Amino acid sequence: MNRLDRPTALKIAAAISAFLALVELFVYDLPAYMSGAAAVDQIASTGEGPPFALLIVISIVSLVALLGAYGTWNGRRWGVALVVVCTVLMLFPSIMGILFAPQLSRIWGVTTILLQLVILVCCFWRRSKASVSPQAKSA
């Protein structure tokens, strides 16, 4: 049986991370920026969304996640570290979405949490002992 190797696991993590970051930026953040800070804060005061300051932080984390996805795709340690940190940070808005958002957003919140868990598992994936060559063991 073929097992998943680490480079493939990192590519899966990078692809999912980039997908989630792009959805966050283009589906949620960009329309909010287009409506303006006052409108976003007015919606946030009714409990329907995050305040504008938090929206800026989430956008920055999404951009850093895109950078981390690039590094992870290329197998760089700094990329994996960025993806792990950004994924953990983005778990909090997903959990808040599950707890306080309308039904459709709750479904998306559950989906993102599951995908973020897949990202974390793939980032911490290790080679199996069977795939390590005898030459690498002696080095």
Q: Is the pLDDT of residue 18 over 90?
A: yes
Q: What pLDDT was estimated at residue 135?
A: 57
| Any domain includes 39 | no
User: Cα–Cα distances in Å, from 106 out to 7, 22, 81?
Assistant: 32, 19, 28
Q: Length of the chain, please? A: 139
| Any domain includes 103 | yes
pLDDT bracket for residue 2 (50, 70, 90) = low
| Any domain includes 31 | no
Give the separation between CA 92 and CA 95, rounded to whole angstroms: 5
Name the nearest CA neighbour of 68 among 29, 17, 6: 17
Q: Between 81 and 132, name the one with better pLDDT.
A: 81
Q: Is the pLDDT of residue 131 over 60?
A: no
Give the separation between CA 15 and CA 21, rounded to whole angstroms: 10
Name the nearest CA neighbour of 65 among 46, 93, 90: 90
Domain count, the chain: 1
| Any domain includes 90 | yes
| Any domain includes 18 | yes
Mean pLDDT within 120-136: 72
Q: Is the pLDDT of residue 1 over 50?
A: no
Q: Which two tokens stand for residue 52?
A: 């504008």
User: Cα–Cα distances in Å, from 128 out to 6, 11, 33, 81?
Assistant: 9, 17, 46, 21
| Any domain includes 116 | yes
Domain range for 117 is 12-24+53-121
Q: What pLDDT was estimated at residue 122?
A: 93
Rg (the chain; Cα; Å): 18
Tens digits of residue pLDDT in 91-108: 988 888 788 777 777 888
Q: What pLDDT was estimated at residue 44?
A: 74
Q: Between 72 and 3, name the one with better pLDDT.
A: 72
Q: Is the pLDDT of residue 7 over 70?
A: yes
Q: Between 49 and 89, name the one with better pLDDT.
A: 89
Q: What is the value of pTM for the model shown?
A: 0.83
| Any domain includes 133 | no
| Any domain includes 64 | yes
